[in-house]
Amino acid sequence: MASSGAVPFWRAAGMTYITYSNICANLVRNCLKEPYKAEALSREKVHFSFSKWVEGKPEKPSILLFTSHFSSSVSFNFIDRRFRFNFR
């Protein structure tokens, strides 16, 4: 079930501990009873606004809303890629 040998299975698949522990935490949050579930998920909401700096002035910011309400880990990967794209 859990890790066998020196490297846990999620590490062998290229995941970091942060990714692993966040996935675990999200799965637990999604299994909560209702008043607690909404509270836990809203606590994890993150807002970002990105704006490019052009000729000494910031352009109109694009507001992105990320929630960590990942129904599946596919959307998690999607967000991960978006982050990398925006920071590059």
Partner 1 sequence: MLRRATSALLSGVSRRRFSTDVPATPSVDSSFVEAWKKVSPNLDPPKTPLSFMKERPQTPSTLPTKLTVNFVLPYASQLSAKEVDMVIVPATTGQMGVLPGHVATIAELKPGVLSVHEGNDVTKYFVSSGFAFIHANSVADIVAVEAVPLDRIDANLVQKGLQDFTQKLNSASTDLEKAEAQIGVDVHSALNSALTG
At its nearest, how many Å lie between partner 1 and the CB of residue 64?
Answer: 22
- Is 24 a binding residue for partner 1 by CB under 8 A? The answer is yes
Structure tokens at 61: 């910011």
Kindly indicate which of the ranges 24-32, 52-60, 79-87 contains the residues binding partner 1, using the contact rule CB under 8 A: 24-32
Q: Which of 6, 7, 16, 28 is in the footprint of partner 1 by CB under 8 A?
A: 28
Separation between Cα atoms, residue 59 and residue 24, nearest integer Å:
37
Angle value at C-alpha 29, between 73 and 81, nearest 5 degrees:
30
Q: Other C-beta atoms within 10 Å of 70: how many?
A: 19
Residue 6 interacting with partner 1 (CB under 8 A):
no
- Is the CB of residue 65 less than 8 Å from the CB of residue 47? yes
Taking the least distance from each CB to partner 1, the nearer of 45 and 52 is 45
Task: Please report, as ranges, the residues that interact with partner 1 according to CB under 8 A.
Answer: 1-3, 8-10, 12-15, 20-34, 36-37, 40, 43, 72-73, 77
